Amino acid sequence: MQYRNFGKLGYKVSTLGMGCMRLPRIFTEGASKAEVDREKAQELIRYAIEHGINYFDSAFTYHHQTSEIVLGEALKGGYREKVRIATKQLFSFMKTQGDIRKNLETQLERLQTNYIDVYLLHNIQKGYWDEIKSRKIFSEFRKFQDEGLIKSIGFSYHGEFPTFSEVMEEYPWDMCQVQQNLLDTDKEVTAQSISLAGEKGCALVIMEPLRGGGLVNTPAQVKAAYDSWPEPRSSVEWAFRHLIDYPQVSCIISGMSTLEQLKENIEIFSKPDAIAGCLSPKEREILLKAKAAYDSIISIPCTGCDYCMPCPNNVVIPETFFRYNEGMTFDAFNQPRRAYWFLDRDGRGGGSCVDCGECVKKCPQGIDIPRQLKVAHDALTGWVE
């Protein structure tokens, strides 16, 4: 297993980290939700540790608030001392200042530990960044740090560079966690954020390196690009190497649900050349061609311009089309369905469309939005959380 410095905190972590949002699950017919398969999850976590992974990422809400419990159980028997635990608290769960400490204490109890190595403010959003500052959340976290309950402070972020840059400049964060992968190079935080984190000496952790598992699949157009490389290499390895190449990256989190996935990923990250600067000019060219091939597979020609918004019935039209196109691109709908489940649950999915036609008048692409929303909704419905 390859290891890297965790920013400027003075220790190393495995370049491959294990995310605990996609632990193996048990589906019971008729049940409203799936449960973690604790026996298989424990096997995965302990196998990972025994084969060099020492960074585990969880959160207060994962798996209906059971992910931390499962991780804590798996780390008994001497495993806790071998790893770094990162977990997160959502701002929406901080209704009062007292809730912040109460939630942390709950997490410590679930994890069966006296301290958390990396504590993150979960999923900072532009819409409530000002409230986070006015509530002085960072100062609350600093109190926990002074008490030894947490060792370092970070945040996770999905979004664009301007807000990311503002967040980074506001506090002396120890680490940050961002979404990045082969397809998000010109979306999300982009390479600018990776450079900024490196300049500040902030530990940088990458999430969604396989785009929710989508990059595991290789459409014919993408396979043609990869096959131009003289040696056989899986789409998974191509996607990981794209990120391994960045010297600023401290750890790449993968949510592994099976022992086979775990073994494959450990093998990739244990290769002698799985180090920063691993890509040759030819490999970079191949990855650009692969990205272009993925981008060309679009089903609904929505550009995300938002001219159709706001919808009078609160449907998030571009987001719905994005999730549908994501499923079509990868020929895999699990992750898009999961993301859409949250939208539909809140009445913002395509199923809430009443065919008023207001969006059609404003769409510069001439899309029959109500009809395509029905297509997307039908394809995206069916996830069990």
Residue-wise pLDDT for 123-144, tens only, equals 888 888 999 999 999 999 999 9
Residues pairing with 251 in the sheet: 205
**For residues 90 and 58, is the Cβ–Cβ distance under 8 A?**
no
Cα dihedral 77, 79, 81, 85 sign: negative
pTM: 0.83
**For residues 185 and 213, is the Cβ–Cβ distance under 8 A?**
no
Q: In this structure, which CATH number among 3.30.1490.100, 3.40.50.620, 3.20.20.100, 3.40.1180.10 belongs to the domain 3-288?
A: 3.20.20.100
**For residues 337 and 284, is the Cβ–Cβ distance under 8 A?**
no
CATH 3.20.20.100 residue ranges for the chain: 3-288
Instruction: Tell me the C-alpha distance between 15 and 272, whole Å.
Output: 12
Instruction: Tell me the C-alpha distance between 63 and 385, whole Å.
Output: 8
- pLDDT of 218 reads 86
Residue-wise pLDDT for 296-333, tens only, equals 876 787 867 777 888 999 999 989 998 998 888 877 88
pLDDT tens sequence for the chain (385 residues): 999 999 999 999 999 999 998 899 888 776 667 888 999 999 999 999 999 999 999 999 898 899 999 999 999 999 999 999 999 999 888 988 899 999 999 999 999 999 999 999 998 888 889 999 999 999 999 999 999 999 999 999 987 888 899 999 999 999 999 988 888 887 766 788 888 999 999 999 999 898 878 788 888 889 999 999 999 999 999 999 999 999 999 999 999 999 999 999 999 999 999 999 999 999 999 999 999 988 887 678 786 777 788 899 999 998 999 899 888 887 788 888 988 998 899 899 999 999 998 898 888 678 899 999 999 999 999 888 7
- Compute φ and ψ for 331, nearest 5 degrees: 50, 40
Question: Could you tell me the two tokens for 258?
Answer: 């099976």
Residues pairing with 87 in the sheet: 119
Instruction: Tell me the C-alpha distance between 136 and 253, whole Å.
Output: 29
The one-character DSSP state at 384 is -
